[in-house]
Structure 1
Amino acid sequence: MALQMFSNVVPNSPEVAGEGKPRRSILCPEKLVENYPSSKSGVVATLYENFLEGVHHSQGKEFLGHRPIVNGAPQGYEWQTYDKVKERVTAFGAGLSHLGLPTTGKLGIFAINRPEWTMSELAGYEYNYITVPLYDTLGVTAIEYIVNQTEMEIIIASVDKASIVLNMKATLPTVKTVIVMGEVTDALASEAKQLDVNIHSWTDVEKNGRDRPVEAVHPTAEDIATICYTSGTTGTPKGAVLTHKNFVSTIGSFHLMAKHGKFFIPSSADTHVSYLPLAHVFERLCQSVMIAGGARIGYYQGDTLKLLDDVVILQPTIFASVPRLFNRIYDKVLAGVQAKGGIAAFLFKRAYNTKKANLRKGILEHALWDKLVFGAIRARLGGKVKHIVSGSAPISPDVMDFLRICFSADVYEGYGQTEQGAGLSMSYRGDLTPGQVGPPQLCVEVKLKDIPSMNYTSQDKPFPRGEIMLRGNSVFSGYYKSPKQTAETLDAEGWASTGDVGQWDAQGRLVVIDRVKNIFKLAQGEYIAPEKIEAVLAKHYLVAQVFVYGHSLQATLVGIVVPDAETLKLWANENKLGHKTYEELCAEPLVRTTLQKELAVFGKESDLKGFEILKNVYVTPEQFSIENDLLTPTFKLKRHQAKEKYDAEIERMYKEIA
């Protein structure tokens, strides 16, 4: 029987040396999706029109919910309807106009997820302002760079972030106005006055706009919706310029997939929990999809450690998250089963194996085991989850199976980057094959480009391999004010390079297998620049050479360390190990534990972030050299070869961490 295909080669595409032919989803062989049909008339082409769809579909039902904190204790969810939010968004957008924000003006948003974040962005969509999210995980230097590059004059911020902005005012010459989500305290007002910064509460801006309406200038599909800055490389962040079409084409892709039974479109009966940072495109795309169907969005209380408490109260039907959280649930459940032992462990194992066998037949539910064994696990996510979406980093096939077995939910794995608004590929509903991220989204076409230096080619058998390249309606127009970086990513024909290595499987689905560049993501979605970390650690007196590695299914880094022979000998003399040879010292457990502890302290003292600290090391006396093929003729580390050489040690280090 012929295999079911998920993508096909684009008809009449030319042969290009060093590249495979582009492929499209079988659902859009002739034309890439650009928008989607409106439920009223015409098409939905902008994110503002997408919001109007949600208002229409909701029929006055609940939209944005949050948990008020009273005397330090979170209360139940309080909700605002779509109609109420629409009124507030229009009023707030008008209020921004009164503050001098022009059409296509830059609007900074600096806060964790909360209703005012989403309403501020929706006001930007309605009045054709360009939202620019700010986030402080990269430090104040990145905020300074983003604000100054965009010449930002107005920043909307929560109270704590407003304080950061005011403290930085000396380095932010363009900032004139800060709008505070919450109460403007006397301390904030006093500091703003001293700095000659106008400060207003969010509700005051909203009231001013309600009292003095302004006719909105609505955006077109080609207008810029947002400039989303990514840490993707070392040093300076890059601002990906994303249009309304970039996002709406991906939403349209989901709509057409749903029409063919390959995805779902939320309705007013659905609920989404918003906790992934709105400063990144994954959560913003998720929210836009929820809004299109009139679904509810409930925000976490702001503490990821209490997220599962919020989820139990909210009872979401749709759960979009990252592998790190799913891994945590997986680890806790299996550890709990092992701790119980006895009949409970026997029943879990039997139920799990039965459902796992059924997965291969496409069956998710089991009347007995779902109630008897998996009910308590399902309750951890509120008990009502029907759809689970994983994105931001690769997820282990074992964890994918675990989620399907324990929650009897449709589980999707998406793949995308900031530069295409998170819209590159998505696994299809009913396809339970683990390890793949589906065919291209219906708004893009994808090809693989040879990487001779890594021995990946589009002619590889049985499966073509190469750098993942894409072109289409979700692909960004470039980096803001950065033509050189844009040219490095986008070619003249509109093909964007991802820096990821992929392969096509036998059914035309994409499998992400490696990274081209020396930058990778950990399981929680943090970008890692290993060369920067290596440059820091190589300064330690005990280190001659170091290779930093992070597996995309893991949340931590490990390292291969070649000690400095002379300083190691001095250390050995001080620690009563002076009688040992260099090779013997490298095999000495005390040397390993000492290096791990010292490099952790040294890294923190050198301003490495928590996720950049090595959690385990392997010590070797063998120098990285040209002769053993670990260095290039210019003495740069060959990362691919180093990974292959030390693969067993890397696996062992991760097992020790676990």
Structure 2
Amino acid sequence: MSHACATQSMSIITAYDSLGSGGLEHSLVQTQAEVMYIDPHLLKTASEPLKKSKVHTLIVNEASIFGGSELLEEFKTSHPKIKVMSFDDLCEAGQSEMVDPVYPEPDDLYCVMYTSGSGGVPKGVRIAHCNLIAGIAGLYTCVSDCVTHNDILLAYLPLAHVLEMALENLGYYFGGAIGYGNPRTLSDTSMRNCVGDMRELAPTIMPGVPQVYESIRKGVMSRLNASVLLRTLFWRAFAYKSFMVKHNLPGACLLDSIVFGKVREMTGGRIRFLFNGGSAISLSTKHFLSLVLAPMFTGYGLTESCANGSLGSPLEFTLHSIGTIPGSIEVKLVSVPEFGYSADTQIPQGEILIKGGAVMLGYYENEEETKTSFTEDGWFKTGDVGEFDTDGHLRVIDRIKNLVKLLSGEYVALEKLEAIYRGVQGIMNVMVYADSDHSRPIAVVMPNEASLSNMAREMDIDEHSMHSDPRIQEIFLKDLQAAGKRGGLSSAEIVAGIVITPEEWTPASGLVTATQKLDRRAINARYKSEIHEALKNA
């Protein structure tokens, strides 16, 4: 659809359904969009915002696997002035009345991409055609030696997200095949009477976000824990391969089919590379999956830079940093003295600034925000803190707004802590909370409900009160503290309290964004009293 619009010089606007009615209304009204393409199950969310917009035509994707076609008649009744047509109707109309292309100029607006809204009112990022082309070319410079037209990419992130848009277009560029999946149907464990998306497609390249990879690792661990013999054999093989890889010795790959073959079958058996984007992943999980499944490389980028920032290469694997800088941009670090970061030290640290062809035009109808986001000489201020290692690879330490000063005067980096604590076996997701009135942070966690229920049953605890039971909280807290110590955290970074939430953190619940990033404002608001109580008892 976006490529078709580009052939007619039409700009597109992307927005998440997780923005809610308010965010969707903001994007529709601000851009004065006239046509909307939508899955039918989202009609309920779009109904009220459309009444205040200039949309006169609605194109419905009736092939959506999520259903919702029963909402169509009700929508037509409540919106009589809006023309409703299916995607097939659109294709037939186009075939019966062909028009010549009206190609855009490089600087013409390609897309207004609205952010996921984790920081308040969503901002519309203005991306020109030349920005996206530069972004795709830049990413290709990092991976050109290791991808071919024979590769198969599993795509399951929202198409409204810049990472998915960039990866999909990158796949088209090098001639690979793309298969579409869904986060809820990726693995066999999430399906009944059929295999999951990974095994069905058997991709060679799999992009993902930390929560997906943590789920894969924890799934493997659960199977291992069922057998002492299997667990012993597995970890001995893991230690052997880790040693062989570390010292660049031959023979490590022999274990892939003998010991790790069953794990690889979970993803279809053909994975060559894993790619992590979106946010930081724990080093232990990256190391584990890189040895058991396939080498994992990491990317860093923003909507404002068309997903460009830094990208690792499978041929230049590094565990601790991300990778090199794409050819379409420049990156520099600027000292942030108030947080103790200096770009003039032997290992330079500071705020990451980006400049180049992949950087956006600015924010849509928001000159003030655009002005404050750029330096006078055109560098975009990311708000992220990073460092360069001795190989010139970039590593992201945290976001400036997620650096919190404790009562003791020490700063803690929330995302760094979350990447470590997320690896705890019984936890599906975690948000670390800290403020200047307390000397230690606490953790707000979404547990693995099945594991939690088993634990409660064994301890004769009522399932209705298990999330707030002090005995269960103590067990989870000790597991978190042990993970923090294993991860090398200081005493000020070890959580001192915990909140166990009974609610699943999904875009539908409003606690994470469409790309599984934490919505801190929403979580803090939803569990305000529980957080206050945990801080008081910490």
- Decide whether aligned partners of structure 1 residues 304 and 133 sit closer, same or farther in structure 2, where only a CA change above 3 A counts: farther
1:445–1:548 distance in 2 versus 1, CA, 3 Å: closer
Partner of 1:312: 199
- The match for 1:508 is 392
For the 8 Å contact 1:221–1:243, the answer to whether it is kept is yes
> Which structure has the bigger radius of gyration?
1
Residue 226 of structure 1 deviates from its aligned partner by: 1.2
Asked whether the equivalents of residues 502 and 510 of structure 1 are also in contact (C-alpha less than 8 Å), the reply is yes
Matched, 1:326 2:207: no
1:140 aligned to 2:21?
yes
**Aligned mates of 2:71, 2:387 — CA distance in 1:** 56
Q: 2:360 aligns with which of 465, 476, 489?
A: 476
- Distance (Å, rounded) in 2 between the aligned partners of 1:387 and 1:449: 33
**TM superposition outliers: structure 1 runs of 4+ over 6 Å:** 595-601
Give yes or no for contact 2:204–2:273 (8 Å, CA) kept in 1: yes
Alpha carbons 2:306, 2:358 under 8 Å: kept: yes
Is the aligned partner of 1:281 residue 2:155?
no
Q: Distance in 1 between matches of 2:148 and 2:217?
A: 26
Shift of 1:364: 9.0
Cα distance in 2 for residues equivalent to 1:323 and 1:367: 25
- Kept in 2: contact 1:318–1:387 (CA 8 A): yes
* Structure 1: runs of 5 or more not aligned: 1-119, 520-529, 532-546, 564-587, 623-648, 650-658
Whether the 8 Å CA contact 2:28–2:53 is kept in 1: the answer is no
Counterpart of 2:147 in structure 1: which amino acid?
Answer: I
Paired residues of 1:322 and 1:393 also in contact (CA < 8 A): yes
1:180 aligns with 2:180: no
Written as runs of structure 1 = structure 2, the 5 A alignment for 1:417-428 is 417-428=302-313
- Determine the structure 2 residue equivalent to 1:490: 374
Q: Is 2:270 aligned against 1:384? A: yes
Give the direction of change, closer, same or farther, for the CA distance of 1:322–1:193 in structure 2 (3 Å limit): same
**2:483 corresponds to:** none
Q: CA deviation at 1:122?
A: 1.8
Q: Which residue of 2 aligns with 1:217?
A: 102
Aligned partner of 1:351 in structure 2 is: 237
Equivalent residues in 2 for 1:191-590, closer than 5 Å? 191-192=75-76, 194-195=78-79, 196-231=81-116, 234-258=119-143, 261=145, 264-267=146-149, 269-300=150-181, 303-304=184-185, 306=190, 309-342=196-229, 344-362=230-248, 366-407=252-293, 409-460=294-345, 462-518=346-402, 551-553=417-419, 554=422, 555-559=429-433
Shift in CA distance, 233/559, structure 1 to aligned 2, threshold 3 Å? closer
Residues 548 and 560 in structure 1, CA contact (< 8 A), matched pair in contact too: no
Structure 1: which amino acid aligns with 2:278? S
* Offset, 1:272: 1.2
Partner Cα separation in structure 1 for residue 250 and residue 352 of structure 2:
32
User: Identity of paired residues, percent?
Assistant: 27
Which secondary structure does the structure 1 equivalent of 2:351 belong to? strand
Shift of the 280–133 alpha-carbon distance from structure 1 to 2, 3 Å rule, reads same
Do the aligned residues in 2 keep the contact of 1:548 with 1:559 (CA within 8 Å)?
Answer: no
Paired residue for 1:609?
Answer: 511
Q: One-letter code of the match for 1:211? A: S
Shift in Å at residue 326 of structure 1?
0.9
Match of 1:122, SS?
Answer: helix
Distance change (3 Å), C-alpha of 1:314 and 1:620? closer
Q: Which runs of 5+ in 2 are unaligned?
A: 406-411, 423-428, 439-468, 475-496, 513-517
Instruction: Name the CA shift for 1:176/1:455 in 2 (closer, same or farther; >3 Å).
Output: same
CA RMSD of aligned residues (A): 3.4
DSSP-derived class of the 1:332 partner? helix
Question: Which residue in 2 is equivalent to 1:575?
Answer: none
Conserved 8 A contact 1:163-1:188 = no
* TM-score after normalising by structure 1: 0.62
Residue 560 of structure 1 and its aligned partner are, at CA, apart by 5.4
TM-score normalised according to structure 2 size: 0.74
Residue 367 to residue 422, structure 1, CA distance change in 2 (3 Å): closer
One-letter amino acid matched to 2:331:
V
- SS where residue 387 of structure 2 aligns? strand
Q: How many angstroms apart in 2 are the aligned matches of 1:189 and 1:137?
A: 24
Query: What's the offset of the Cα at 1:336?
Result: 2.3
SS at match of 1:556: strand
The number of equivalent residue pairs is: 443
Report if aligned partners of 1:255, 1:265 keep a CA contact under 8 Å in 2: no
Change (3 A) 1:252 1:169: closer
Q: In the TM superposition, what is the alpha-carbon distance from 1:348 to its structure 2 partner? A: 0.9
Q: Compare 354-363 and 180-189 and name the one that shifted more.
A: 180-189
CA distance in 2, matches of 1:186, 1:312: 32
Offset from partner CA, 1:389-444 (integer Å, 9 cap, x none): 1111112222222222112x342111001110111111133323212011211111
| Residues 162, 180 of structure 1: 8 Å contact kept | no
Shift in Å at residue 250 of structure 1? Answer: 2.7
1:4-31 per-position Cα deviation (integer Å, ceiling 9, x unaligned): xxxxxxxxxxxxxxxxxxxxxxxxxxxx
Are the structure 2 counterparts of residues 363 and 277 from structure 1 closer, same or farther at C-alpha, using a change threshold of 3 Å? farther
